[in-house]
């Protein structure tokens, strides 16, 4: 797929997961990074739609409608308040659709399923810097103090509606996937899970949960120790 067609597709839908898009990302790290950046921007745009409605605002609207009626206000004012109430209702419905209530999904099981759905989007050859990782990790209160392995991929993602961080590292031909998930994700904690051909383990601190996924249990535990020893956590 040529670069212009690829960009048009991703601009139109950053979440496009068509087979040709997946192939393009796997073959070209620049395309994979562009898609990851656009998905990140899409997440920020969705976050911008999260408008906090003032407490008891709907009651205030109804009260004002009542007062307007008693004071024989013009029908124009009544229409305005009705429109305001409709907007509030629409915002509430939209927010519930875009950001559903957290459920009891299990943390590591969800992480493995999420990773499997994204495998085709991970470039085979790419190299992110420590600074690029820390620019995103800082949002969760962490700093990676030293390079552990080559970083193939880093991007924000959605865990059951919660903004999280997806990192893929590679060392001696072995890939490891790391997810950093905020403590308020609502996902139920797990220690170690074997699912399909992958093994996931987790580590929790007061700021975030870290999930590490590899194809070997012993390797997952080793990676967890290596990574946790290189991350400094502080208040975000």
Task: Say if CB 182 and CB 155 are below 8 A apart.
Answer: no
Work out the angle between the directed axes of helices 19-27 and 3-12 (0-180°, nearest 10): 120
Mean pLDDT, rounded, for 64-73: 62
Joined together, the tokens standing for residue 166 give 């997806």
Task: Say if CB 167 and CB 233 are below 8 A apart.
Answer: no
Handedness of CA 160, 35, 52, 235 (dihedral sign): positive
Q: What is the pLDDT of residues 106-123, one digit of tens each?
A: 889 989 999 988 888 788
Where do the DSSP E strands lie in 138-229? 142-144, 150-159, 162-171, 174-182, 192-195, 198-204, 208-214
What is residue 74's three-state secondary structure? coil
Task: Say if CB 165 and CB 156 are below 8 A apart.
Answer: yes
Q: 201: number of CA atoms within 13 Å, CB side?
A: 16
* Cβ within 8 Å of residue 197, ≥6 positions away: 215
Does 34 or 79 have the greater pLDDT score?
34
Q: How confident is the model at residue 97 (pLDDT cuts 50, 70, 90)?
A: very low
Instruction: In whole angstroms, give the CA distance from residue 91 to residue 74.
Output: 27
Q: What is the pLDDT of residues 155-185, one digit of tens each?
A: 999 888 889 999 999 888 889 999 999 988 8
Write down the pLDDT at residue 59: 65
pLDDT at residue 24 above 70?
yes
């Amino acid at each position: 797929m040529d670069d212009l067609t690829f960009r048009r597709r991703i601009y139109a839908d950053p979440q496009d997961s068509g087979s040709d898009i997946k192939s393009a990302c796997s073959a070209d790290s620049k395309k994979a990074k562009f898609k990851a950046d656009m998905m990140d921007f899409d997440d920020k745009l969705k976050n911008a739609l999260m408008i906090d409605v003032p407490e008891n605002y709907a009651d205030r609207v109804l009260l004002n409608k009542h007062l307007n009626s008693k004071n024989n206000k013009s029908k124009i004012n009544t229409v305005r308040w009705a429109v305001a109430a409709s907007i509030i209702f629409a915002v509430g419905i939209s927010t519930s659709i875009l950001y559903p209530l957290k459920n009891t999904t299990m943390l590591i099981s969800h992480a493995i399923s999420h990773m499997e759905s994204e495998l085709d989007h991970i470039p085979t050859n790419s190299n992110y810097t420590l600074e690029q990782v820390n620019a995103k990790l800082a949002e969760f209160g962490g700093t990676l103090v030293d390079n552990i392995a080559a970083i193939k991929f880093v991007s924000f993602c959605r865990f059951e509606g919660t903004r999280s961080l997806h990192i893929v590292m590679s060392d001696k031909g072995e890939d490891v996937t790391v997810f950093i998930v905020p403590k308020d994700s609502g996902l139920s904690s797990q220690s170690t899970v074997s699912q399909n051909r992958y093994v996931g383990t987790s580590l929790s601190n007061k700021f975030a949960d870290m999930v590490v996924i590899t194809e070997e249990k012993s390797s997952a535990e080793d990676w967890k120790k290596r990574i946790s020893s290189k991350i400094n956590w502080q208040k975000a």
